[in-house]
Amino acid sequence: MAFARTCSVALVGVEGVVVEVQADLERGVAAFALVGLPDKSLVESRDRVRAAVVNSGAEWPQMKLTVGLSPASVPKGGSGFDLAVACAVLGAAERIDPAAIADLVLIGELGLDGRVRPVRGVLPAVLAAAEAGYRQVVVPERTAGEAALVPGVSVLGVRSLRQLIAVLTDAPVPEEEPVPEGSPDPMLSGLLVPGAGVGTGLAATQAEGPDLADVAGQHLARRALEVAAAGGHHLMLHGPPGAGKTMLAERLPGVLPPLTRQEALEVTAVHSVAGILPPGEPLVRTPPYCAPHHSATMPALVGGGNGLPRPGAVSLAHRGVLFLDETPEFTGKALDALRQPLEAGHVVVARSGGVVRLPARFLLVLAANPCPCGRHALHGGGCECPPAVVRRYQARLSGPLLDRVDLRVRVEPVSRGDLLGRGGRGESTATVAARVRAARARAAARLCGTPWTVNSEVPGHELRTRWPVAPGALGAAERDMERGLLTARGLDRVLRVAWTLADLSGRDSPRADDVGLALELRTGVARGASLAQARGGA
């Protein structure tokens, strides 16, 4: 009897579990059994591995072969186990030294000709291997850059099984014929999945992306956009069509600070599993932007699919912006499913194939028209929607969902003077982004030593007790709460926005006018000098 083992990684959502791949050879009728809870794509690896080994110049053992995947209780799927299965079989047949592969983690799909094809989810798989203590991984050459993002791990990128066998046996490494320049590379087809992005696009850099200066007028909405970026507050823009709601939302990712190293790894891991990571760009450094169509289902938003759930729009927008245009047109079930990730920063999805926990800490931007035709309450707009239709349309957004949105701003139609530029151009994205970075730095210094980094994450109790505001500053908010205009959650969110306004203004604590502007941004009712503060940005 001959035996060999090596390791690979099974992905459950965006988290990995190291799997031991064991191969056992016995005398008997030649057969190949694969055990350990594999799915159909993994069962088919028997034929791929056999053909790849033979076409790589190695001899296939004509014995009874059993390959086991442990732990057997973890569901395993995909073609990323091919390379580990092939090496385990060759180790059991003593074509390579079993000791040389015992501590290796191998990830990759095998073509019938022996080429190693890239697979999705390499980054979270290597992260799981590093956390389990493994320090050597073998991946397809096309994804070696993605695997190298994990510190403390030695990465070997191979183009074929022949090359790997040569490395493990200390033989000369054969050269593989490169793809001619300008020709399509079929090896990249496994990395990008058409239609898997659910309206996701990685935000361009500030130099290339849309500029906030292109938005005409909309002083209060621009101020709300800056506050949302500085404090991580969710935002709702409501107003007639053509007022600039989508333009504002598309420019929000450029105002957000660049991702930190840890945040970039989290976002890259999600995009790698989803199959929307651009080739040649292993690390996502800018906040993502996700704008699903209003016909998206609840699984498309929060995650789902056959078997184990896959990331939905809330996870694809992790550390970025989730924009829901025409929000009332989404189904009520889909919108209410956002309430848990808005509070927790992650989503737990249970399906027949298992339960997964997916990251979902995003900045939500809602956009809505006042009625189905969009002309309600406009002077001379000619809205013909019956009052009952208008009420029904506006009631599609539930109270519990809106209570989690800190900023609710009415976007008025653009005046002729603003559209023609008579009032001058507004501030550019770079100018606003600099103020946002400064405000976030002030908040981070204040929250140093706590698990929170931005004001929107701080629990209300902590905000009221550890960082009290000046006496009397909350007077207007307390009166609104007594009149039933604010809930307890609403009062906490007004206080968080007031702290963000103070950070943007460079003050140590919120003043009464900060609380007044925070109330206006939440209720739409002007409070004294708050509108002047919004226009002046001070």
* Model pLDDT for residues 271-292, shown as the tens digit of each residue: 998 888 877 778 999 999 999 9
85: nearest Cα among 52, 118, 59: 52
Residue 315 has pLDDT above 90, yes or no: yes
Tokens 């968080």 -> residue: 496
Taking the C-alpha atoms of residue 108 and residue 119, their distance in angstroms, rounded to an integer, is: 6
Taking the C-alpha atoms of residue 224 and residue 426, their distance in angstroms, rounded to an integer, is: 14
pLDDT value at residue 269: 93
Residue 207 has pLDDT above 50, yes or no: no
Give the pLDDT band of residue 192 (cuts 50, 70, 90): low
Quote the distance between the C-alpha of residue 188 and its chain's center.
22
Q: Which residues are within 8 A (CB) of 258 and not within 5 positions of it... i.e. 6 or more apart?
A: 285, 286, 287
Candidate from 138-142, 151-155, 425-429 with smallest mean pLDDT: 425-429
Does residue 418 contact residue 214 with C-beta atoms inside 8 Å? no
More confidently predicted of 277 and 192: 277
Give the pLDDT band of residue 431 (cuts 50, 70, 90): very high
In tens, the pLDDT along 88-113 reads 999 999 999 999 999 999 999 999 99
pLDDT value at residue 195: 53
pTM of the model: 0.89
pLDDT value at residue 531: 47
Give the pLDDT band of residue 424 (cuts 50, 70, 90): low
Taking the C-alpha atoms of residue 481 and residue 249, their distance in angstroms, rounded to an integer, is: 30
More confidently predicted of 200 and 90: 90
Cα→Cα distances 170→25, 114, 135, 218, 340, Å: 24, 19, 20, 67, 54
Give the pLDDT band of residue 204 (cuts 50, 70, 90): very low
More confidently predicted of 334 and 176: 334
Give the pLDDT band of residue 329 (cuts 50, 70, 90): very high
pLDDT value at residue 69: 96
Residue 527 has pLDDT above 70, yes or no: no
137: nearest Cα among 43, 16, 218: 16
Termini Cα distance of the chain: 79
The C-alpha angle with vertex 95 and arms to 90 and 96, in degrees rounded to 5, equals 80
Does residue 161 contact residue 52 with C-beta atoms inside 8 Å? yes
322-345: average pLDDT: 92
Cross-sheet strand order for the sheet of 407-410: 200-202, 288-290, 321-324, 363-368, 235-238, 407-410
5-34: average pLDDT: 94
pLDDT value at residue 65: 96
Residue 135 has pLDDT above 60, yes or no: yes
Most confident range, picked from 54-68, 390-404, 407-421: 54-68
Average pLDDT, the chain: 87
Give the pLDDT band of residue 218 (cuts 50, 70, 90): confident
In tens, the pLDDT along 141-153 reads 989 999 999 999 9
pLDDT value at residue 349: 86
Candidate from 30-44, 226-240, 411-425 with smallest mean pLDDT: 411-425
Taking the C-alpha atoms of residue 119 and residue 105, their distance in angstroms, rounded to an integer, is: 14
Cα→Cα distances 181→93, 157, 178, Å: 39, 20, 9
273: nearest Cα among 13, 10, 7: 13
